[in-house]
Each structure stands twice: as structure tokens, then as C-alpha cells.
Chains A and B, each alone.
Chain A
Amino acid sequence: MIQTLFGSVPTQPSLLERLKSGVQRTRQGLVSQLETVLAGRKEIDAELLEELEYTLISADIGVRTTTEVLEIIRQRVDRKLVGDAGELRQLIQNHLIEVLQATERPLPRVTTPPAVVMVVGVNGTGKTTTIGKLARLYREEGRSVLLCAADTFRAAAIEQLEIWGQRTSTEVIRQKPGADPSAVLFDAIQAGKSRKIDYVIADTAGRLHTKSNLMAELEKMRRTASRLIPGAPHEVLLVMDATTGQNGLEQARRFTETSGVTGIVLTKLDGTAKGGVVIPIARELNLPIRYVGVGEKPEDLLPFEPEKFVASLFEA
């Protein structure tokens, strides 16, 4: 027993024990609860709201967004606009889908190729792999592609991209390790122009958004691109790992500020992470999600579908 100012309380089982049983209980709880909910038998109560909160927060949607979403819903419940829990769940899903759909915009139209695509992001999110997948995608569409090995920093980053080039029968423009990334980009765009290539996709070294010198390097690359082709880079894809938590919002903000991100690729959705941080990103930065990565193979890149994505957030 623990003595407190409010009398004594029994000692609790260890945090670990409670956590473990808690997670299990909830998983079962949520599934069965939603089933009953769907059958329209269960009324909305505090417990259900807590389950919904758990669902949203554990998907990395973030506590603020979750609170705001639940508040909208709560108001409707108070006004008796929601009949049963099934409707409630649907309402939340629809709201999230709307948030994501609001960011959708058509791809920029490139009149004089090459289209320049820059791929950026923090370390290890899947940039190089995504470029391999994009190369395959564009090639399947009958386009010509040139890859640009502008990660001249990380050990064997160039070799990694070259293997992706071989896999997708795509040429890679490279220089030596340690070369100026802008210089490699310059070469690649020049080559793309003279050979009338459709796409130049530039790999960049992973960098944390807090490192201003490295962020400035991306700005320089942008300037290089636009000097060679007005309007380039046409797409700047921010590659984000679905396991990322609330830091994702700051990543998106800072990369957008310095390198003009036009869209997000959400990778590693083949794991158990939900990638819900894209919801606050969509709300606050209005950035569309272009693709999702679902594996390490060339074909594991899919277009983003808000309905499917939101449904997956609610799957246990």
C-alpha cells in the first residue's frame, strides 16, 4: 500500500504487465466493439470514445489533431446528429478522407522535357529505393528516365542507386563520392536535355531538417535545376517513413520551406505502422501524398488512395 495525502492506494502491477495486457485487451476490444458497432447495437459511450481516441493516436495522427477531430464528432453527438456508434466511426473516417482529399492537386504539366524530380527526406526513409521504384513506374509508362546520384555523402549510396539503375535498365549519372551534389545534378540535367529524356530523378543524401547547412545544399540544387530549366524541379518528393511519429510534421514543414516539397511518398506501409502523421501534415501544410511504399521490390510502389488509407487506420 502506498500512503498518500488522499489515503492509501493499493500497489499496482508493474507497468510492463499492465501495458502488455492493455495492448492485447484493446486490440480485441476494438475489433469486437467495432463489430457490434457495425451491427448497430451499441450505443456511444465514454469507453467507445476512448477506444476511438486510442485508434487515432496509436496511428500517429497526433494528440492535437485527434482531440480536434473527436471534438467535432462530440459536438455532433451532443446535438444528436449521430445515431449509433457505426455512424460515428463512419463520420470520423469521412472527415479524415476529406482532409486528405483537400490536398489533392494535379501533377504539374511539363511542356519541355526533361521533367526534373528531386527526392528528399531525413535519413533512411527510403529515398533511394523509392527512386528505383519510380524509375520502374515511369519506364512501364514508356518514358525515358535518367537517374542522378546526388547523394555523394553516404557510404555506397552511389553504388546502391546504380544497382537500382541496372534493375530497371536506367542509366545513372554519377561523379565521385564527395562531389558537389549540385554539380552532379547539373550534369544529369544537361545529359537529360541533350538526349531528350523524359524524366531526371535526383537522389539526395538523407539529412535531418534541423541541419541548416545541409538544407541550404538542397536550396542550391533547386537553383541549379531552375537555371537549366525554368520551372524545374517540377516535383520535389518528400519521402517519409510510415513509422515516423510527431516529428514528421516538423520534417514536412522544414523541407517544404527550404526545398519546396510538392508531394509526399509514404514508405514502409507494409509494416504495422499506420503513417497517420500525414493527417496533421495534410491539415497544416496542405501537402498531397503521391505514393505509398509497401515493400523493397521495384513494384512495391502504389498510388495513394485516401479511402483505403483511412480504412487501414481503423484496422487493428
Chain B
Amino acid sequence: MFENLSEKLQRVFKNLRGEGKLTAENMESALREIRVALLEADVHFRVVKQLIENIKQKAMGEEVLTALSPSQQVVKIVHEELIKILGSHQSKLRFANEPPTVIFIVGLQGSGKTTTTGKLARWLSKNGHSPLMVSVDVYRPAAREQLSVIGRELKLPVYEGTPGETTPADLARGARKEATNTGRDVVLIDTAGRLHIDEDLMKELQELKGLLSPTEILFVADAMTGQDAVKSADEFHKRLGITGVILTKMDGDARGGAALSIRTVTNQPLKFVGVGEKFDAIEPFHPDRVASRILGMGDVLSIIEKVEEQIDQKKAEEMQRKLLENEFTLEDFRDQIRQLRKLGPLESILSMMPQVGILKDLKNVKVDEKEITRVVAIIDSMTPQERANHMIINGSRRRRIARGSGTTVQEVNQLLKQYAQMRKMMKSFSGGFLGKRLGKMKLPDILGQRL
């Protein structure tokens, strides 16, 4: 559908002279593309404007990394900037000191509140809590029945109220009492959908809040929401002081730019995302994933996931540490190549990665499986000491390695040069977004570039 930002930027920088570095001139075109990408993802106009300002300053302030192409570098900055707004890590639900903890589920009509109530109840009970659900939606046809059906399906209790309890306040209070009496530690209150400009219904929520002092007021928002997200979220927050956001319907193909808008106007954390209609379809919020998705770079995630599945986690972490501390040996290098090859043909892996897509456009980049085999052969012919410390590989050792691996001394030289460059480059990444990922995902394009 949409071209992703990487691809767009790739085009921008290719069409410009001075590809080597970020300049005020080429940044202008890049920023235009970033703006379009963010608007297409439904990030609010004003939020985009401010983001562009920030990105511009960041980009101009950035030291030019020779190892990265300008588009890679810009993508990295944008991605980091989005994560900064979205929050650097997922935040957990909070609980009251004195049970029961009361949680309000609020939001516009049809955003997914009732379904999310069921999902949270299930999630809580799986995590050692005993939730009680109650619907205080006395307006929509069959709204309360909907939650009762969900409760039966999940085999979790729903407070049905007494015949006398007809108002939201009655029902909510009744449920809290019931929870206290039956030793339930969390009361989930599913509220009726309402417009943020509905004075009466917004007041109703404010009164409910006064009555029940909820620990969490979770605003449930549809991931498909467009520009209006700022208005509704802002108003709910002003009226109620929401404490968190749940983004639903993320199982579709909406970019979810509303997440940025909502986070910006409310400054409240995103806590969960809904990824389906079933009650187990809820996940903790991952800022980096949502950021990539907003930029249309979901592919990068699937490759990361694929890599993560295949690569031994401990090993990867160890590798990462080594990379950052510049202890990355030729032995490690060979290990990495082997790991990567387990994923399938490098071409197909590389094509899934936008950064590599950029590299692929460069003339001298060609992924050659044979070359990779040759690199492995060269490293295989080294002694363990040589692999641990490449500095000791002098002329005679190079000749021996070339003979042993059936290659030429020039090829051995080239590999060693590339390896040294790579170490240097990795050092310059340390700490940043790439640094964190390095052990797991940056290697393929390094290979792509060098071999």
C-alpha cells in the first residue's frame, strides 16, 4: 500500500548529489518525506509539525557516520524520536495498596472497551489476580448482556447487580462491595461508550471517579483513529485524568499514528495493545514495534523476530556485549555468519531489511553466497589464537591461511581490512539504537556492504 519511509528516503537521497552526508539541502527533501509518512500514518498534523522540528535539529546535530548512508541515519533518528515520545518501555498496571483495585475502562463508542475488559480480566487472572467485572453501560442495547456472555465464556465472575441497582453508580458500588465480600482483588468497570463532547455522560464519569477513586482509568482507543484522536484523548484526559491507554485493533493494517497523537496530548503511557477479537489477543505495548509500524517498517520487525527466534538469546547478548566493548573476534564473526545462514538465503533476508535495501542500491554491493563461503573458509583456516586476536596475523600467517583456505593472500588481506573497519564502525554505533540491536540485526547489512 504505502511505500515505507526507508524506501522513500532511499529515493530522496539517491536523487540528490552529495549522497555522502546530510546537508541542509538534502535534509529538506528527506523531511518532506518524513512528514508525508507520518501524516499517512494518521499522526496529528500539529504533532507531525513538532516532530519534524525535533528531527531536523537532531539530524543537523548528528555527527555524520560514514558507516551509515544518509537515509539509514535519518531513519534511525526518526525512529528514535518516535520511541522517545511513545515511552521507552512498556508500563505496568498499578494496583491499590488496599484491595480491591478499581480500574475504569473508558473511551469512545465501539473502540473495544467491553472486549478489552474481558481480555484484562483474563490477563489478570493468569497473573495471579482475581478480577470481578461489571458493566455500567445501562444505555446501549445488550451492552451488559455482552459482558455477561464474556464472563461465562472466560469462566470469570461478572457482577450482575440487584434489581434495584439501575444507575452506573449503583452498579459500580455494588460491584466493589461484592469484590470486598468475596475476596476479589480487582474490579474492572466497563463503561458505556461516549463522545468526549457529551457533557452529561462525561460528568457521569467524573462523578463515578469521585465515588470509586479508581487506581487506573484506561482510555481504550481504536488504532484506526485519524486526526480526531487528539481531541477525544485530550478531553477524556482533562475531564478524568486518564492513567493509561490501550490501543485496540492492532491486528489490522492501520499504522496506528494515533498512538503518537494520544501519547503527546495526554502524556500517559500506552499499556497494552489489542490484537484480535479473542480474549487472549492482548499484548504489552512495545514502543519500538509501534514506532516501526508507524513508519511502515513492519518488515524490519518480522526479520528481527525471525532472527531472534533462530539465534540463541544468550549468545546474542554476549555477542552484543563484545561488539560494544570491541572484543568482537574473528571467531565471533564466523559464528554470526553461521547463525545468519540458518535463516535462509541471505538475499531473501537482506531484501526484508530496508537498510539493506539502501545498500543494495549502491553499485558495489552484491550479496554473493560464494563469497560468504570463502570468508568462512578463511576464518576456518586460522588458529584459535589468530581468531581471538587478529593483530597477530602477519604476512607469513596470511600466506598460510590463504593456502589452507584455497584463497589468495589478497582475499585474506581484504577480509582482515573489512573486519577491522567493521570493528571501528561498530564502536561508533555503541549506545544508540543500532548499538542495542547490533548483535542481532545489524550484521546482515554489514556483510552486504563488505562482501
Interface residues in chain A, defined as those with a beta carbon under 8 Å from any beta carbon in chain B: 2-6, 9, 12, 15-16, 18-20, 22-23, 26, 54, 57-60, 62-64, 122-126, 132, 153-157, 159-160, 162-164, 167, 208-211, 241-248, 250-251, 268, 270-274, 277, 296
Tell whether, in the assembled complex, residue A6 and residue B251 are in contact, meaning their CB atoms are under 8 Å apart.
no
Task: Write the nearest CB–CB distance from B91 to chain A, whole angstroms.
Answer: 18
Most chain B beta carbons < 10 A, residue from A9, A153, A241, A251: A241
Tell whether, in the assembled complex, residue A208 and residue B252 are in contact, meaning their CB atoms are under 8 Å apart.
yes
Tell whether, in the assembled complex, residue A9 and residue B57 are in contact, meaning their CB atoms are under 8 Å apart.
yes
CB < 8 Å neighbour of A208 from B149, B196, B251, B264: B251
**Which residues of B sit under 8 angstroms from A12, Cβ to Cβ?**
53-54, 57
Closest B residue by C-beta to A22: B46
Closest A residue by C-beta to B148: A156
Tell whether, in the assembled complex, residue B141 and residue A163 are in contact, meaning their CB atoms are under 8 Å apart.
yes
Tell whether, in the assembled complex, residue A57 and residue B61 are in contact, meaning their CB atoms are under 8 Å apart.
no
CB < 8 Å neighbour of A247 from B42, B153, B232: B42
Q: A126-B109, A156-B145, A246-B41 are known; give 17 further A-B pairs, CB within 8 A.
A: A5-B60, A23-B46, A122-B249, A124-B111, A132-B141, A210-B251, A241-B110, A243-B224, A243-B225, A245-B224, A245-B225, A245-B257, A247-B253, A270-B195, A271-B228, A272-B195, A273-B231
A64 to B141 Cα, complex, angstroms: 39
CB < 8 Å neighbour of A160 from B24, B146, B222: B146
A125 to B46 Cα, complex, angstroms: 26
Task: Write the nearest CB–CB distance from B128 to chain A, whole angstroms.
Answer: 26
**Which residues of A sit under 8 angstroms from B22, Cβ to Cβ?**
5
6 closest A-B pairs by beta carbon, nearest first, are A245-B226, A124-B110, A245-B42, A163-B141, A273-B228, A4-B61
**Which residues of A sit under 8 angstroms from B150, Cβ to Cβ?**
155
Tell whether, in the assembled complex, residue B264 and residue A60 are in contact, meaning their CB atoms are under 8 Å apart.
no
Tell whether, in the assembled complex, residue B45 and residue A155 are in contact, meaning their CB atoms are under 8 Å apart.
no
A166 to B231 Cα, complex, angstroms: 35
A272 to B60 Cα, complex, angstroms: 38
Tell whether, in the assembled complex, residue A123 and residue B110 are in contact, meaning their CB atoms are under 8 Å apart.
yes
Interface residues of B in 187-231 (CB under 8 A from A): 195-197, 222, 224-231
**Which residues of A sit under 8 angstroms from B45, Cβ to Cβ?**
54, 57-58
A160 to B149 Cα, complex, angstroms: 12
1/0 per residue, CB under 8 A from A, across B130-156: the answer is 000000000111110111111001000
Given A57-B39, A57-B45, A156-B142; A19-B226 close (CB under 8 Å): no
Tell me if B362 is interfacial: C-beta within 8 Å of chain A.
Answer: no
A270 to B232 Cα, complex, angstroms: 13
**Which residues of A sit under 8 angstroms from B400, Cβ to Cβ?**
none
CB < 8 Å neighbour of B44 from A58, A244, A248, A272: A58
Tell whether, in the assembled complex, residue A156 and residue B146 are in contact, meaning their CB atoms are under 8 Å apart.
yes
Most chain B beta carbons < 10 A, residue from A54, A157, A251, A272: A272
Q: What are 19 contact pairs spanning A and B, CB under 8 A?
A: A2-B61, A5-B61, A5-B64, A19-B47, A58-B227, A60-B227, A123-B249, A123-B277, A126-B109, A154-B277, A156-B142, A157-B142, A159-B142, A208-B252, A243-B108, A246-B226, A247-B252, A248-B226, A271-B195
Tell whether, in the assembled complex, residue B49 and residue A271 are in contact, meaning their CB atoms are under 8 Å apart.
no
**Which residues of B sit under 8 angstroms from A246, Cβ to Cβ?**
40-42, 226, 255
Tell whether, in the assembled complex, residue A63 and residue B227 are in contact, meaning their CB atoms are under 8 Å apart.
no
**Which residues of A sit under 8 angstroms from B255, Cβ to Cβ?**
246-247
Task: Write the nearest CB–CB distance from B141 to chain A, whole angstroms.
Answer: 4
Tell me if B112 is interfacial: C-beta within 8 Å of chain A.
Answer: yes
Tell whether, in the assembled complex, residue B264 and residue A16 are in contact, meaning their CB atoms are under 8 Å apart.
yes
